[in-house]
Amino acid sequence: MRIQKNVFKRFLSKIEKNPPKKLDAITPLIEAEVWQETECLTCANCCKRMTPTFTPKDITRISAHLGMTRKAFKDKWLYQEKKTGDWMNVNNPCQFLNLEDNKCNIYEVRPVDCAGFPHLSKKKMVDYIHVHKQNIEYCPATFKMVEKMLLMVKGKKHYGEPTTLVVQDNEIRL
């Protein structure tokens, strides 16, 4: 898995510099396949090992839902990153994750970042590749997306076909 991740990261770097023409067209097809094969409730790595970014609107909505003031909510759960000014979780796993069933206790009002994660089909894939390179470490859905993307870009897989990929000697064998 470690070797595969490194190979996939190198592939992402390549397409970041030189994106194939069909990249943005095939991404939604790939995303649909990924979600047919991924069960987030058996994973929850994003809630356990990463933090979402809370926008001001998220903070207003979630604190109101919990019957707290914005300040009390921020004081209790969040810190502000100096470099970006973003509001992030202090706790990891997230305080709103139910560790027994991997469900989110504030699902209806969860941060927009959580609702969109792992942001597989951003309009311009190339602008988001740096994020996928980070997320591939923890997110099986991102891993699957990159695997499928690699095969499709190389013309070795078409929509709906099973994925078969062998990594040997730190290289991909198709």
* Of 26, 59, 94, 145, the one binding ligand SF4 by CB under 6 A: 94
Among 47, 129, 146, 172, binds ligand SF4 (CB under 6 A): 47
Site string for ligand SF4, 98-127 (x = CB under 6 A): ------x-x---xx--x--xx---------
Residue 79 tokens read as: 């810190």
Rounded least distance, CB 34 to ligand SF4, Å: 9
Q: Does 136 bind ligand SF4 (CB under 6 A)?
A: no
Out of 15, 35, 38, 66, the only residue in the binding site for ligand SF4 (CB under 6 A) is: 38
Size of the site for ligand SF4 (CB under 6 A): 22
**Shorter beta-carbon distance to ligand SF4: residue 30 or 47:** 47
- Chain residues binding ligand SF4 by CB under 6 A are 38, 40, 43-47, 52, 94, 96-97, 104, 106, 110-111, 114, 117-118, 138-141
